[in-house]
Amino acid sequence: MQSNRSKDLLRLCIVVLFVAITIFSGLSCSRGGTLTVPGTGACEGIVTELANAFCAANTGYQVLVPPSVGSGGGIKRAGTGESVMSRIARPIKESEAHYGLSYMEFAKDRVVFVVSSGVGISSLTAAQLADIFSGKIRNWSQVGGSEAAIRVFSRESGDCSLQIIQEQLSPFKDLNFAGEVMYHDYEMLAALENNRNSIGFLTSSSLIGKKPKAIMLDGVEPSVSNVTAGRYTLALNYAFVYKEDLLDKTARKFIDYIHSSAGRKILEDHGMIPVSP
């Protein structure tokens, strides 16, 4: 009798051990990792959206998108191994090539000129815009608008959107900017929303669901189709930079998600153009 009880106890212990191993294995398989993606503020919003959607679809994984340290800061952190990968909105410079980073573009965003909702201007030429941002044109009546002083908001030297404008529009190449300087797209948007008769520029994705409207440039609408066709040239390339041998499971899984149909839809819903790997 005692022998049978011992056998039953042994069987019970084996079953409990098996169940414990099964549960532990399941937890181990579902447990993800944490990824921090520092870098530019230009795509901070959309990378945050992608990160939140990815984590919701992949229990146990965490992707953190800290405040901007700029594209240069992101490149340095990925280059020194401080981060597994970083987000940037410009090409890697020759002076940064020594880091040996891989560059993977994932989306294009448009840089647009925006006027506050009460201005009533729908299109300006590059020359008119340059005169406005330099302070030569100070009243909307000078470009076909109402009699109202123009309030100008610009961005700091080195900003990605400003760099694209200076590269693509010849009247802006050596322009001395007038007006107030904003340091983030959300600051620019708030300034345009809260100040009548104002003008500025920012990324198109920042305007989703907002009142200020992008205007046409030289009669060309800043649409996705015009960017794709090359008719509208003010476009930022968003990319991740990393060292291939440092990419871990979480980073690779996040990249795969961005290129999936779910990730591409998020990009498209925010007015961006997904780029295949």
User: Exposed (0-12), middle (13-18) or buried (19+): which is 19, by Cβ within 10 Å?
Assistant: exposed
This prediction's pTM = 0.80
Please tell me the CATH superfamily of domain 9-101+255-271, with its number: Periplasmic binding protein-like II (3.40.190.10)
Structure tokens belonging to residue 122: 């729908």
pLDDT on residue 63: 98
Residue 234 has pLDDT above 60, yes or no: yes
pLDDT on residue 248: 96
Q: How confident is the model at residue 14 (pLDDT cuts 50, 70, 90)?
A: very low
Burial 195-219 (b: 16+ CB within 10 A, else e): eebbbbbbbbbbbeeeebebbbbee
Total Cβ atoms within 10 A of residue 240: 26
> Which contiguous run of DSSP H or E holds residue 79?
helix 70-79
Q: Work out the average pLDDT over 191-200.
A: 95
Q: How confident is the model at residue 238 (pLDDT cuts 50, 70, 90)?
A: very high
Q: Work out the average pLDDT over 47-75.
A: 96
% of the chain surpassing 90 pLDDT? 78
| pLDDT tens-digit map of 124-169 | 999 999 999 999 999 999 999 999 999 999 999 989 999 999 999 9
pLDDT on residue 117: 81
| pLDDT tens-digit map of 245-277 | 999 999 999 999 999 999 999 999 998 999 988
CATH assignment of 110-228, among 2.40.160.100, 3.40.190.10, 1.10.510.10, 3.20.20.70: 3.40.190.10
Q: Boundaries of CATH 3.40.190.10 in the chain?
A: 9-101+255-271, 110-228
Which segment of 13-17, 22-26, 235-239 scores lowest on mean pLDDT?
A: 22-26
Residue 25 has pLDDT above 60, yes or no: no
Q: Work out the average pLDDT over 176-182.
A: 95
| pLDDT tens-digit map of 201-229 | 999 988 877 888 899 999 999 999 999 99
Of 241, 186, 190, the residue nearest 45 (C-alpha) = 186
Q: How confident is the model at residue 118 (pLDDT cuts 50, 70, 90)?
A: confident
pLDDT on residue 3: 53
More confident: 26 or 130: 130
% of the chain surpassing 70 pLDDT? 88
